[in-house]
Homo-oligomer: A and B are copies of this chain.
Amino acid sequence: VTGSAVGVDVGGTKVLALAVDSGATVLAERRVETPADGEELLEAVAGVVVELWEAASGSAGGAVGVGMPGLVDPTGVLRFAPNLPGVVGLDVVGGLQRRLAAARPGGSGAVVVDNDATCAGAAEHLAGAARGVSDAILVTLGTGIGGAIVSGGSLLRGANHFAGEIGHMVIDPSGPACACGGRGCWEVFASGSALGRLAREAAEAGRAEDVLARAGSAAAVRGEHVVESALAGDEQAASIFELFGYWVALGLSNLANLLDPAVVVLGGGVVRAGDVLLEPIRRAFNATVEGAAHRPEVRIVAAERGADAGAIGAALLALSAG
């Protein structure tokens, strides 16, 4: 696969569009806010794509990939998106094809739409930390937990392209309420947001002095403060990562028992912390995965494509679709 494509990552609050070449290099970017209405959203996405086409003076390829935060069916219709309540049932592929065909003589090339975490996983699989790995799990610890599964060298899609919804794996049915309406989902314990909650509890209990000083008040503590504090060598921040790492590892070992990956790639802002976070996760994982002493070690590594992974992966998926 050669050439270039535009990849778009639609988030709950912003839209990121990147022109990306087949080597996963970012050529140009555009950002806009995410409109609440479905038709306006399609208009905004088509707008940034056309801007990137125009900026590239025709050198950006016509293929377009879009990652959406929800369940996208194989025909490109968004079926369910908790963070975009106005857009259930939106025909993203059809709506974009219509708008883009008008803007580009000769047609727009392939338009593919997929789940945003699937796109981010594709970026790590095709051009990141899981490059060349046949069996991998790609996990993004953000507001929630997103995931993608690579099995036998390909993204695992499922019957309706809805596979990889790992954040709502229930790990404690009597646990705290989740935004999805359930209780005790993994993302309640192990997302970036959950790290912030753990850190606020530690700050309120007097067990996070450096973290508290960085945030200004216990209520203002976020996961990023723990990351900064831990990177500066603070032991209390390291203790928060020990507890957080246990919860991350609990879900990862469930996934590893099911899927037997060679590599687990962790993304999201918290992985900036590096080994001070990854080591507690690795220790807890090896203590809980089935038959740890009798199987090759599962490598647990940080993602390489950062916050651009969703848009890069969307572009790479569009390129491979032609």
A residues within 8 Å of B by Cβ?
71, 79-80, 88, 134-135, 147, 149, 151-152, 154, 156-166, 168-174, 180, 182, 250, 253-255, 257-262, 288, 290-291, 293-296
Sample of 11 further A-B pairs with CB below 8 A, known A80-B293, A88-B294, A163-B259: A79-B294, A80-B295, A135-B157, A152-B156, A164-B258, A165-B290, A170-B253, A170-B254, A171-B173, A182-B288, A254-B254
Flag if B182 contacts A159 (CB, 8 Å): no
Q: What would 26 A/B residue contacts be, using CB atoms closer than 8 Å?
A: A71-B290, A71-B291, A71-B295, A80-B293, A134-B159, A135-B158, A149-B259, A152-B152, A152-B154, A152-B156, A156-B259, A157-B260, A158-B260, A159-B262, A160-B262, A162-B295, A166-B257, A168-B257, A170-B171, A170-B250, A170-B288, A171-B172, A172-B172, A173-B250, A180-B290, A182-B288
Q: Give Cα A180–Cα B254 distance, bound, in whole angstroms.
A: 13
Residues of B close to A258: CB separation below 8 A: 147, 149, 163-166, 169, 255, 258
Q: A165-B257, A172-B172, A257-B165 are in contact. Are A295 and B160 (CB under 8 A)?
A: yes
Nearest chain-B residue to A298 (Cβ)?
Answer: B159
Q: Give Cα A258–Cα B259 distance, bound, in whole angstroms.
A: 10
- Per DSSP, are chain A's interface residues mostly helix, strand or loop, or mixed? loop
Residues of B close to A259: CB separation below 8 A: 149, 156, 158, 163
Residues of B close to A160: CB separation below 8 A: 260, 262, 295-296
Copies of this chain present: 2
Flag if B172 contacts A260 (CB, 8 Å): no
Residues of B close to A253: CB separation below 8 A: 170
Q: Give Cα A294–Cα B166 distance, bound, in whole angstroms.
A: 18
A122 → chain B closest CB, angstroms = 16
Residues of B close to A169: CB separation below 8 A: 254, 257-258
Flag if A80 contacts B294 (CB, 8 Å): yes
Q: Give Cα A295–Cα B159 distance, bound, in whole angstroms.
A: 10
Nearest chain-B residue to A155 (Cβ)?
Answer: B152
Residues of B close to A158: CB separation below 8 A: 135, 151, 259-261
Residues of B close to A171: CB separation below 8 A: 170-173
Nearest chain-B residue to A162 (Cβ)?
Answer: B260
Residues of B close to A147: CB separation below 8 A: 258
A159 → chain B closest CB, angstroms = 4
Residues of B close to A174: CB separation below 8 A: 172
Flag if B290 contacts A168 (CB, 8 Å): yes
A133 → chain B closest CB, angstroms = 8
Nearest chain-B residue to A186 (Cβ)?
Answer: B254
Flag if B135 contacts A260 (CB, 8 Å): no
Q: Give Cα A82–Cα B288 distance, bound, in whole angstroms.
A: 15
Residues of B close to A166: CB separation below 8 A: 257-258
Nearest chain-B residue to A133 (Cβ)?
Answer: B159
A139 → chain B closest CB, angstroms = 12
